[in-house]
């Protein structure tokens, strides 16, 4: 009987000690549980300008717009500001104002010269549009937030220009994540194999004939990539490895 009382007392003490340890650890059953990164906050930049360069005439004219959702993190915001406006050491709004002022000056001068050479009201319009926003959905558990920056430009000619860039940042300290942090070695062999397989080709020559990919350049370890869970999406803009008619080239391979 005494033996049973001793066992019951021992189990009760052990249970009480376990509960106390659970309370002291903040209700977590494991000391290895990591705190998730806080949800990011954002700041929005927006401007839209459309002006004609000849009084009383609609054309020629120019339109400039900026729509950017930037993270409320100094490190990440600085990198994005430099990428969007090609200006260093400036606050986002200051950089945007200087950037748009410079474009207005350039476009006004060029279109004014164009107007003096034309006898009719040709519908010429220069365009420059910048967009930047986080890639959805935002997964705070991954510790990474990615942004897509796009640039659309038209300054005459048969067609305009279009480029987009992905940038990935740490949610913890805002630093720009480099390729070496998420991929070991050279990703080009894996990208080449994926392109051949997706386009049902056996050789690079066959791939070029069928898709125009690689006709302007070889694959390379571009820093224009998007982290998608356990995969990487590499983006090549027109003219990097293929002509404009082929469009942008994207290749998805597993991280490793």
pLDDT tens digits, 93-122: 999 999 999 999 999 999 998 887 776 667
Given its phi and psi angles, is residue 193 left (phi above 0), alpha (psi -120 to 50 degrees) or beta? alpha
Contact yes or no for 92/68 (Cβ under 8 A):
yes
241 CA to centre of own chain:
20
Nearest Cα residue to 42 out of 82, 73, 67: 73
d(CA 162, CA 39): 31
Lowest-confidence segment of 36-50, 117-131, 156-170, 216-230 by average pLDDT: 117-131
**Higher pLDDT, residue 146 or 20:** 146
Q: What is the pLDDT of residue 4?
A: 38
The helix/strand/coil state of 82 is helix
> What pLDDT does residue 11 have?
35
Query: Token pair 């104002």 is at which residue?
Result: 97
Per the CATH hierarchy, to which homologous superfamily does domain 42-177 belong? Fervidobacterium nodosum Rt17-B1 like (3.30.565.40)
Give me the residue spans of the domains in the chain. 42-177, 180-254
Look up tokens 């070695």; give the residue. Answer: 185
Q: How far apart are CA 227 and CA 145, in angstroms?
A: 9
Query: How is residue 246 written in tokens?
Result: 């082929």
CATH-assigned architecture of domain 180-254 = Alpha-Beta Complex (3.90)
State the pTM of this model: 0.83
**What average pLDDT does range 19-46 have in this prediction?**
59
39 pLDDT more than 90: no
């Amino acid at each position: 009987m005494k033996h049973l009382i001793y066992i019951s007392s021992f189990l009760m003490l052990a249970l009480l000690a376990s509960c106390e340890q659970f309370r002291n650890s903040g209700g977590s059953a494991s000391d290895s549980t990591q705190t998730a990164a806080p949800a990011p906050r954002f700041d929005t930049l927006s401007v839209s300008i459309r002006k004609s360069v000849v009084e009383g005439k609609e054309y020629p004219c120019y339109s400039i717009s900026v729509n950017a959702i930037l993270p409320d993190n100094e490190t990440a915001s600085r990198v994005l500001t430099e990428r969007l406006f090609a200006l260093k050491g400036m606050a986002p709004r200051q950089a945007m104002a200087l950037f748009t002022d410079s474009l207005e000056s350039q476009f006004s001068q060029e279109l004014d010269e164009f107007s003096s050479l034309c006898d009719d009201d040709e519908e010429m319009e220069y365009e420059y549009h910048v967009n930047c926003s986080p890639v959805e959905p935002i997964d705070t558990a991954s510790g990474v937030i990615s942004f897509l920056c796009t640039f659309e430009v038209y300054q005459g000619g048969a067609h305009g220009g279009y480029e987009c860039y992905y940038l990935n940042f740490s949610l913890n300290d805002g630093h720009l994540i480099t390729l070496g942090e998420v991929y070991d070695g050279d990703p080009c062999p894996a990208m080449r194999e994926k392109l051949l397989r997706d386009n049902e080709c056996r050789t690079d020559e066959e791939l070029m004939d069928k898709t125009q990919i690689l006709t302007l350049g070889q694959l390379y370890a571009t820093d224009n990539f998007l982290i998608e869970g356990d995969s990487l999406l590499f983006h090549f803009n027109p003219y990097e490895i293929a002509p404009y008619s082929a469009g942008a080239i994207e290749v998805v391979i597993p991280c490793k």
